[in-house]
A = this chain, B = another copy of it.
Amino acid sequence: MKELSPLQIERLKYQPKLPSSLSGGINNLELTEGNKTQSVKDREQIKELFKNTYGKPLITFKSTSKTLTCEQRNIGVILSGGQAPGGHNVIAGLYDALKQANPKNKLYGFLGGPSGIIEGNYIEFTDEKINAYRNTGGFDIIGSGRTKLETEEQFQSALKVCKKLEITGVVIIGGDDSNTNAAMLAEWFVKNNAGIQVIGCPKTIDGDLKNDQIEISFGFDTATKTYSELIGNILRDANSAKKYWHFIKLMGRSATHVGLETALQTQPNITLISEEVEEKKMSLKQIVDYIADIVAKRAEAGKNFGIALIPEGLIEFIPEIKSMISGLNDTLAALENDSSYKNAEENKKFEIIKNKLNSENAEVFASLPVIIKQQLLMDRDPHGNVQVSKIETEKLLIQMVSEKLAEMKKAGKYSGKFSAQCHFFGYEGRCAFPSNFDADYCYSLGFNAFALLKFGLTGYLSSIKNLSSPAKDWIAGGVPLTMMMNMEKRHGEFKPVIKKALVELNGPVFKVLEQNREDWALNDRYIFPGAIQYFGPSSVCDIVTETLKLENNVKLASV
């Protein structure tokens, strides 16, 4: 029986590239301190909450001929949250750096996410274990989890576990929330003289953990390339069969970086951007009209096919829907014990609810297709709230566009055929083999995380910059986690959090979409990226995302 695929066998042999500052060896680094830093907003509050770790300087590493050895240390590592391609390489880079620094160093992996450090579930990494996972996708090396590391009790447990294992440094690989928790843990360890440092690594396929200091989170590159492969294949299918509209929903409930990047890679006819919908206060009707208009115009040109990209979180960005759902939550709560509602048949239920909502919300509710009303009333979470994530936005839009087109047909304004297929891509890309970019980037992030630990730093995010240049020219260093924080309301309370990067409507990436979308809508400018390539010409296997390229160009121009 086979155990490994041919690609996996070859990828295990791949040696990720390091920036030249790091490739000189972990014991031959020189640290440069930049200026002291400030948080992006709410400085006084953040400073108050992070008394011991606030305001640290930016760090940059350089290679030096002076050798600085490393006393024996034990380090722990945690994978937190949703999978992103390259997580295994962060661990491999960390492991290699740590063993290079002192072969007696040990790396422990906490199992199943942050709960591993609380409950003391761990393994010790060996060469054999690490070698079996180099350059592979997934987080299965130690598993991941979504436990939030944030209470005093959890910190106490983590301390106990670390003390038992003589761990003096913890690396947390996660998204914005996990790194917020890393900052809190770092602060707590310092405050309690635990002698344990904490370093974060920026992970998320959503691409929303980025800022002036962090160019991109890892996994975004591979995930968007995988989705673009599939979108490109579907574009080609649509353009060959010429009979279907494909509505493709892309995972990610907040930012639309994935939708924007895949749109630039494939040039489909329609791309909806949640941030634009919110900014322009678009109604569901306006969105439906926008799509129906393009469908009709294409039909006029004899093209009854096309592709629309839909962000998973769209519906939560439509102001009127947000308001309606909030009203619905109250209404459903009030009807909790109302037997005349409970025993009513479906249409009657819709009627009762419509009458209880305020007129604006009632109108929005009434405008929705039956299947969506059903989903709104059926799937409520343990708190009794409507589960927006279960709403099949792609089907909602297909249904409403189809109704709109039927109206237009009656009015003599449309005479095409509208036949639609829907798709949802998310799990397909989170565990792909990391692209060469992500393999190199992640390995460097992990290697660099140990460099930060070695220099005694805590409360830092491992940072590799200048990513649109070749790996040797990448700049390794560290960014204080507090620098990226502000105060935001979460569950009714103001909390310090790392600011999520949403799509900027005046940013260079959205601009490309904006300038081209009319052309892309009507003419077929489809691009077919094909499968990620790990070998072959550099032009195909060392590509960076359009997002990174465009944003770095702007940064360079402003320097």
Interface residues of chain A, those whose CB is within 8 Å of chain B, are 1-11, 82-83, 112, 136-140, 143-144, 226, 229-230, 232-234, 236-237, 239-242, 246, 265, 267, 345-346, 421, 423-424, 427-433, 516, 525, 527-537, 539-541, 543
> Given A226-B531, A433-B531, 11 other A-B contacts at CB below 8 A?
A5-B530, A8-B530, A83-B237, A138-B528, A226-B233, A233-B432, A433-B528, A533-B533, A533-B534, A533-B536, A535-B537
A382 to B144, CA, bound (A): 50
Residues in chain B near residue A8, CB distance under 8 A: 527-528, 530
- A8 to chain B: closest residue by CB: B528
A82 to B1, CA, bound (A): 34
B525 in contact with A432 (CB, 8 Å)? no
User: Which of A2, A242, A531 has the largest number of chain B CB atoms within 10 A?
Assistant: A531
Known: A5-B529, A345-B345, A525-B1. A421 touches B432 (CB 8 A): no
List the 7 closest pairs (A to B, CB-CB), nearest first: A535-B536, A531-B531, A138-B236, A236-B431, A7-B530, A139-B240, A237-B431
Cβ 8 A contact of A83, one of B11, B139, B240: B240
Residues in chain B near residue A429, CB distance under 8 A: 233
22 contacts across the A-B interface (CB closer than 8 A): A2-B527, A3-B525, A3-B527, A5-B530, A7-B540, A8-B528, A138-B239, A226-B233, A226-B531, A230-B428, A237-B431, A240-B431, A346-B346, A421-B427, A423-B424, A423-B428, A433-B530, A531-B531, A533-B534, A534-B536, A535-B535, A535-B536
B240 in contact with A138 (CB, 8 Å)? yes
A534 to B533, CA, bound (A): 7
A7 to B538, CA, bound (A): 10
B428 in contact with A240 (CB, 8 Å)? no
Q: Is the interface of A mostly helix, strand, loop or mixed?
A: loop
Residues in chain B near residue A267, CB distance under 8 A: 2
Residues in chain B near residue A2, CB distance under 8 A: 267, 527
Residues in chain B near residue A541, CB distance under 8 A: 535
B530 in contact with A533 (CB, 8 Å)? no
A351 to B411, CA, bound (A): 39
Residues in chain B near residue A431, CB distance under 8 A: 233-234, 236-237, 240, 528
Residues in chain B near residue A6, CB distance under 8 A: 529, 539-540, 543
Residues in chain B near residue A242, CB distance under 8 A: 112, 143
B516 in contact with A1 (CB, 8 Å)? yes
- A242 to chain B: closest residue by CB: B143
A527 in contact with B237 (CB, 8 Å)? no
A179 to B118, CA, bound (A): 65
A144 in contact with B10 (CB, 8 Å)? no
Known: A427-B421, A540-B7. A531 touches B432 (CB 8 A): yes
Residues in chain B near residue A534, CB distance under 8 A: 530-531, 533, 536
Cβ 8 A contact of A428, one of B234, B241, B265: B234
B529 in contact with A7 (CB, 8 Å)? yes
B140 in contact with A239 (CB, 8 Å)? yes
Residues in chain B near residue A1, CB distance under 8 A: 516, 525
User: Which of A83, A424, A533 has the largest number of chain B CB atoms within 10 A?
Assistant: A533
Cβ 8 A contact of A236, one of B11, B137, B230: B137
A8 to B239, CA, bound (A): 16
